Chains A and B, each alone.
Chain A
Amino acid sequence: MSGDPIEIVSLRKQFKDFVAVNDLTFSVKKNSFTGFLGPNGAGKSTTLKVLTRLINATSGNAYLNGIDITVDSKNALKGVGTVVETPEFYGYLTPIQTFQYIGKIYGMNNETIAAQTDEILADMKMSEWADKKIGTFSKGMRQRISLGLSMFNDPSIIILDEPTSGLDPRGMAETREILKNLRKKNNNLTILMSSHMLHEVSDMCDRIAMINHGTLLMEGKMDDVLGANKIRTIAVKVVGGPTDEAIKAIAKLPNVQDPQVSGTTIKFGFKGDDEDQMQLFSEIGGLGIKVYSMNEDEALENIYLNMIKETK
């Protein structure tokens, strides 16, 4: 065993003829915020559901703080906060009663429960709803309660399965803000988060793991992953569409690779750092082309799409 807070070893989950997770092995580094990426059906949610005891593994092991959840789920889940999709709560309970219920399960005393509940509900901006029945809450409010509960009892690990899924833009922004603040407040926290939203992952996570067809494609530091793929994709939008002259002019610029036209946009690869890119934009501006937009495509998205394409 590696000693990492989350360690998955040769994990397999089979639903009848469909293998959702196939001999998956990887670990999540201590105090990291790891984004867990993969297309629909890649096995992300299945893996996280095994880690949170919502489904049983067909074979293999999954360790949380060194305890195998497939063997001793009760002790493995101690010190672990979870948000799986948007969980429902007991509609007849208020947030305070819900925290009391879960606090009692954690074995916390009444004073600690009350103190942590007040603090978490304040962080979640839910204090004024503390004594209202959850059954009346919107999905966004329930997700905030869910995130709050995941932080209850000071966990060392938080597992999030698409925490912004199904939320409106405001709800998504609030959730991301909460998670960022959580990271700022607690450095001794390991977070594993699955998400479809690559900008969300690149914005919040310092490590990523990608899977497809239930197997690991890559895992590493976000900077290393982005750094290892130094070719950026630049999109230049031209009024009236790009002319042949414009394409040729751009192709002659240093470090530009393989310009392609798509509608009014010229897309090309560019090898260089931020300074080089600034210089490139300046040179394109001086070409006399009627450019109305220049930007770098999402780097992580390019890497993600390439990796997924390779495993098809």
Chain B
Amino acid sequence: MDTDHPTKAQIDLKDDLRLACIVSKYEGIKFMSGKKILIFGILIAAVLVLISIAILGFGGDNVTTEGGIYTYISFVELLALIGATLFSSVTLVSEFEERTSLMLFTKPIRKSSIFLGKFAAAFILNFVFILFYYVVAVIMIAIKTGGFTDNIIPSFGLCVAYIFSLTGIAIFFSAWMKKSSSASILTFIFILLVPGIVGLVIAAIASSSGASVDLWFILDSASLSVVSTITGEATNGLRDLAVMLIWGIIPTVAGYYLFKKREV
């Protein structure tokens, strides 16, 4: 058997990935040409400036490397959530709402390529902003203390997993909702409130029966490791990583199913 030639399935997969990259590129152009990216950029810059003023300007000599980085990174979850709300939650629904689906969906491209391309664009954009935030935070603390903590690397890795989970949840609502505004609001409220409320309910039920329960499987609990890793408090980084990935994978799969079935 000649193994040098790719099979039809391999050629198809390669072409589907090529198409996903094209969709991703043009989705990126869409984000770049919109106002949301400017708003998000200004927000991130404002947070960085304010924290930097507080630490570099008024921190005195008491600022430690871990403490300073901790202060910066304690805002990263909220920023990532805002990023997911602004970009990921609108990426699919806008095709239906703005009727551009009438053009794109009638072209020879699988819906899986469209979905993957849009997911990737929204994820990468949020990733780049958060990477920038981490880099600036590290530079600022290096300027202040002259130090660097290795803990920033696992923290960033966990944060990437958190961005993945946020993107998954946001894209689920984007595939489900009829309007971008509904998808954005639901994404924000769901991530901000629902896991916490579910955790409280579970804890209350457990407490009423005299038991205590570890809420490690709740997204809020797992994402705390993004910050706690900085000070070395997180002891279950791999478990938290897995929880966040699962919180991303399940809604992504559900979102893909909804998107594939959705009609124009």
Contact = CB atoms under 8 A, between A and B. Distances in A.
Chains A and B bind each other: yes
Interface stretch (B67-75, B100-108, B165-173): B100-108
B108 A90 contact: no
Given A56-B263, A101-B22, A101-B26, A89 B110 contact: no
Interface in A44-59: 49, 52-56
Contacts of B26: 90, 93, 101
A229 B149 CA distance: 88
Interface in B241-264: 261, 263-264
Contacts of B189: none
Contact of A53 (B15, B103, B105): B105
Interface stretch (A1-9, A75-83, A187-195): A75-83
Given A92-B29, A93-B29, A54 B108 contact: no
Given A49-B264, A54-B263, A105-B19, A90 B100 contact: yes
A92 B29 CA distance: 8
B36 to A, nearest CB: 12
Contacts of A118: none
B34 interface: yes
B264 A88 contact: no
Instruction: List the 6 shortest-distance A-B pairs measured between CB atoms, nearest first.
Output: A87-B102, A92-B33, A55-B263, A54-B264, A82-B106, A88-B99
Contacts, number: 70
B106 A74 contact: no
Contact of A55 (B30, B108, B109, B264): B264
Interface string B8-30: 00000001000100100010011
B106 A52 contact: yes
A88 B107 contact: no
Interface of A: 49, 52-56, 73-78, 80, 82, 84-85, 87-90, 92-93, 97, 101-102, 104-107, 146, 149
Interface of B: 15, 19, 22, 26, 29-30, 33-34, 98-103, 105-110, 261, 263-264
A74 B112 CA distance: 11
A44 to B, nearest CB: 15
Contacts of B110: 73-74
A80 B106 CA distance: 9
Contacts of A74: 108-110
Count chain A CB atoms within 10 A of each CB in B15, B19, B99, B108 and give the residue with the most.
B108
22 contacts: A49-B263, A52-B106, A53-B105, A54-B106, A55-B264, A56-B261, A73-B108, A74-B108, A80-B106, A80-B108, A82-B106, A87-B99, A88-B99, A88-B100, A88-B102, A89-B100, A90-B100, A102-B103, A105-B19, A105-B109, A106-B108, A149-B103
A53 B106 contact: yes
B120 to A, nearest CB: 16
Contacts of B34: 92
A89 B103 contact: yes
Contacts of A97: 29
A105 B103 contact: no
B22 A104 contact: yes
Contacts of A82: 106
